[in-house]
Amino acid sequence: MMQRIRTLFAAILIAALACSAVAGQKTAGGGKAPTPSEFLGFEVGADRKLADYRQISSYFKALAAPSDRVQIEILGKTTLGEEMIMAILSTPENLRNKAKYQDIAHKLADPRGLSPQQVDALARDGKTILLITCNIHSTEIGSSQMAMEWAYHLATAQDAETLKRLNDSIVLLVPSLNPDGETMVTEWYRKYLGTKYEGGPMPYLYHHYVGHDDNRDWFMLTQIETKNVNHMVYHEWYPQFWLDEHQMGYTGPRIYIPPNADPVAKLVNPLVHRGNNLMGADMGWRLEEAGKSGVIFGYSFDAYWPGGTRNTGWWKNMFGVLTEVASARIATPMEISATELQGGTKGLIAYEQQINFPNPWPGGTWRLRDIMDYELIISDAALETVSKFRQELLHGVASMAAYAVKSADAAEYWRIPLEGQRDPIEASRLAALLLEHGVEVRLAPDKKSVLVATAQPYGRFVDEMLGIQRYPEVRPAAGSGILEPYDVAAWSLPLLMGVKAERVRISPAEQQGSTLLQSAPWPAGGLTGTGKYFSVAGRQNNTFALANAMQKAGGEVYVAHAANEPPVVVFAAHPQLQENAAKLHVLLNAHADLPARAERLKAVRIGLYKPYIPSMDEGWTRFILEQYGFPMKNIENKEVKAGNLNASYDVIILPDTSRGVIVDGKQRAEGYAEEMPPEYTGGIGKEGVKALRDFVENGGTLITLANSSAVALGEDFNLPVRNVFGSGESARGTQATSINIPGSLLRVYVDTNHPVGYGMPQEIAAFFDAPIAFETSPPAPDVTRTVIAWYPEDSKDILVSGYARGAERLERKAAVVSFTKGKGKVVMFGFRVQFRAQTEGTFLMLFNAIRWAGM
């Protein structure tokens, strides 16, 4: 059905596009460009009307065809194969010279070797490049609709002020950072229009893999959409200013604009915030002038975390602003009673007039049109700011880049050894990621390590991402709790990836003998020698990818393990082995015979549970398993409830989500929850829990990730284990007595002789963001329990990077436990073993747990 609707719209649009292309002719300022409403045949922004992504991108193409102020660039394909577009808007003259302005932007972003006079000249001659991105969170849909109207305005306006702004600047406008999600949300909305579910939540993620976490991916760059935009920003356009337009909840302020809230990141040049605040001030001015109330700054969104779109650029000397407009029910208006308006968050504890909120919105009707009107004003204000302060901003970027170089010690480098790493492929992956970020990466003269200078334009970014974090304890008042981070508190890439990296001083000879890398130095993979068998120590994530690829190709895979050594993974000779091993950078050694104790590895059938209240962790897990070639199927409530799960699966993974979501299909036990269409109501129920228990007793392996352990901690499973934090506590508690570990890396010890710990180091940095730590008790003979990983005895040793208060409650508690019961197994991960596809250093434990099911 979805497919048919899509095809139908596409056909209509191609017809419409063809008409306008015939009628249109390139004109200066183009009077012939259609308005969005003319082109789409409905009033854009009207109640209950939405343009889907195909319509939006067709409109942009129709606008560009007759206009000499608009060009379209394709950023790449999306996860589901959609074309991701960006409009480039400026004067015809600027567009003709766009390569020149890209070059100026590049030089200002890296002004090494330029004299002050040359920088002055570039700032004088350059244009500010303003990137505006919309709709990364697909339900925050207003900006995707607004983008069409604003682009039409810029393409056709004849007033002197707009023409001046366009002459000063080049606007890069991305109408949706998540086209697939825009389509999903629009289809869902249209499907239930006029029913009681109108404008309600969807039962699936609005990004194929990661849902809302698409805006948590900007330092790790795992998703294709993130990669596309990252490449455009840091390798092609070097915009000086990035504005990312979002929406927030509906019972608070109407719009958030800069300044950000506390805390503030130490390594970001303060000029970044000054530039952001200039833009925020103009936005606030223009909104009040237009009679728009409910404008707030210094609210909720901190200046500390580098994971979202524009934030990552702060460490790369780029100005970057987030805005958040209050939502409606997608395109359905809402009535908000004055009594429903509330604060309750950083910067607005009570919904009252304050200096950062001088004109509270009084309540009333709020609709898509309001969202778009606020967004049109702030988009205009953004362009006004970058036009007015063109030279200052261009100069500012160059001076921040120069300062990043000058303030660092030219002999200080990060050294990432390519040899002696547990997983050398991960070390290369880290180098590849830094290159993707536009960082300068060098190969040491002996080719045994990679060197990353701290004295380079993106040096602050390098130190932020390779160093460790210490969250600043900012208190709004004496004696009060600290301001909590907006998102997580740790992102140290070497720790996340399990890679050794060191900040060292290097000699001038080593500096001079090193060479700039254009691409990552991947280790050589393939076969050494000839034989019937080929082996590798099972310490690398990619050995699993290779095992999965070979099993898929019909090859034989074995594992042998000796105490206190990593397991040996053995592959029988096969026509595809060399090619696969080379592709995956895994180097295999030849053997004449099968090594002693080698056990044939069974290919296991994996079921990944997928709830109707979408779990981003489900999506991330699916993404990772697909990346590493694990054969996998999603399993939904109905199938779990039906039981007899052993017939279809050897392993079932419950992703991180609450017991309430899994068992009852409810986020919270109490309070109002909107009804979903009946086919998406409820959870696995009591019978589903029993079916999972039967699955284990009959020989299946159940893996629970973080919060989903609560399903197996219940009385149905009757396992000798409890969560020391119970079930009601949050890891983000703010009271002095509670635990507060909001996404940090903690030290954990691992039993490397347990199959789940095979190939791991004895000490790891594990990502912790949920209050889960296990306490086991000695069981009766029919159950065995093993503590696979545990926290240190002394709380002083627990935190590695991030923030941890109340860590003493983790002392000597278990982090990963396993049980055998009946013929089957249960493995519970308390920490986030594969969090957001960022914790590559602990992926191996999840893969091991899956493999254990086949042993």
Contact residues for Zn ion, defined by CB under 5 A: 137, 140, 246
Q: Which residue has the tokens 């860590």?
A: 807
**Cα diameter, the chain:** 85
Between 282 and 324, CB nearer to Zn ion:
324
Tell me how far, at minimum, the Cβ of 182 lies from Zn ion, in Å. 13
Residue 622 CB, shortest distance to Zn ion, in Å, is 22
Task: Choose between 214 and 751: whose C-beta lies nearer to Zn ion.
Answer: 214
Q: Of 137 and 254, which CB lies nearer to Zn ion in the complex structure?
A: 137
Min. distance of Cβ 325 from Zn ion in angstroms?
10
- Tell me how far, at minimum, the Cβ of 319 lies from Zn ion, in Å: 19
- Least distance CB 280 / Zn ion (angstroms): 18
Beta bridge partners of 216: none
d(CA 779, CA 787): 13
The residue among 140 and 656 lying less far from Zn ion, judged by its C-beta, is: 140
**Smallest distance, Å, CB 135 to Zn ion?**
9
Helix, strand, or coil (residue 348)? strand
Of residues 142 and 755, the one with the C-beta less far from Zn ion: 142
Tell me whether residue 126 or residue 179 sits nearer to Zn ion (CB atom). Answer: 179
Sign of CA dihedral 119, 122, 124, 126: negative
Closest to 561 in 3D by CA, of 588, 534, 597: 597
CB of 844 to Zn ion, least distance (A): 33
As measured in angstroms, the least distance from the Cβ of 492 to Zn ion is 25
375 touches 143 (CB < 8 A) = yes
Round to the nearest angstrom and report the end-to-end CA distance of the chain.
43
Between 323 and 580, name the residue whose CB sits nearer to Zn ion: 323
Q: Which residues of 825-855 are buried (b: 16+ CB within 10 A; e: fewer)?
A: bbbbbbbbbbbbbbbbbbbbbbbbbbbbbbe
φ/ψ (deg, to 5) at 538: -85, 60
d(CA 731, CA 31): 57
Whether the CB-CB separation of 538 and 758 falls below 8 Å is answered with yes
CB-nearer residue toward Zn ion: 141 or 546:
141
Closer residue to Zn ion, CB minimum distance, 69 or 246 = 246
Min separation Cβ 134 and Zn ion, Å: 10
> Beta 533-537 vs 526-528: how paired, if at all?
unpaired
Task: Provide the total of helices (H) and of strands (E) in the chain, helices listed first.
Answer: 26, 35
Q: How far is the CB of 322 from Zn ion (least distance, A)?
A: 9
Name the E strands within 525-621.
Answer: 526-528, 533-537, 557-560, 568-572, 587-591, 599-600, 606-609
User: Please, which residue, 61 or 246, has the CB nearer to Zn ion?
Assistant: 246
Structural contact between residues 391 and 124, judged by C-beta atoms closer than 8 angstroms? yes
Q: How many CA atoms lie within 13 A of 25 on its CB side?
A: 1
Q: Which is nearer to Zn ion, 135 or 740 (CB)?
A: 135
Return the number of the residue (140 or 423) whose C-beta is nearest Zn ion: 140
- Please state the closest distance from residue 324 (CB atom) to Zn ion, in A: 7
Judged by CB, which is closer to Zn ion: 134, or 833?
Answer: 134
- Helix (H) or strand (E) holding 568, with range, is strand 568-572
Smallest separation (angstroms) from Zn ion to the CB of 244: 8
**Strand, helix or coil for residue 704:** strand
Residues 6+ apart with CB under 8 A from 795: 807, 808, 810, 811
DSSP string across 769-801: -S---EEE-PPPTTEEEEEEEE--SSGGGTEEE
Nearer to Zn ion, 110 or 140 (CB): 140
Query: φ and ψ at 821, to 5 degrees?
Result: -150, 130
CA angle 697, 698, 700 (to 5 degrees): 90
Using alpha carbons only, give the angle 173, 177, 706 rounded to the nearest 5 degrees. 155
Shortest distance, position 658 Cβ to Zn ion, whole Å: 22
Cα Rg, the chain, nearest whole Å? 28
Exposed/middle/buried for 783, CB within 10 Å: 0-12, 13-18, 19+? middle
**Smallest distance, Zn ion to C-beta of residue 50, A:** 17
Judged by CB, which is closer to Zn ion: 137, or 415? 137
Nearest to 496 by CA among 796, 835, 810: 835
Least distance (Å) from Zn ion to the CB of residue 138? 9
Q: What is the DSSP letter of 237?
A: I
Tokens representing residue 697 in the block: 């007793």
Smallest distance, Å, CB 246 to Zn ion? 3
Query: Taking Cα atoms as reference points, which of 104, 131, 130, 129 lies closest to residue 118?
Result: 104
Instruction: Considering the complex, state which of residue 307 and residue 396 has its C-beta at the smaller distance from Zn ion.
Output: 307
* DSSP characters over 289-338: HTT---EE-S-S-EE----SHHHHHHTTT-EEEEEEEEP-BTTB-EEE-G
d(CA 340, CA 835) in angstroms, rounded, equals 35
Cβ proximity to Zn ion, 181 vs 802, nearer residue: 181
Tell me how far, at minimum, the Cβ of 233 lies from Zn ion, in Å.
19
Q: What is the DSSP secondary structure assignment for residue 133, as one 8-state letter? A: E
Q: Dihedral sign for Cα 509, 515, 521, 524, please.
A: negative
Sequence-distant (6+) residues with CB within 8 A of 233 are 131, 239, 242, 313
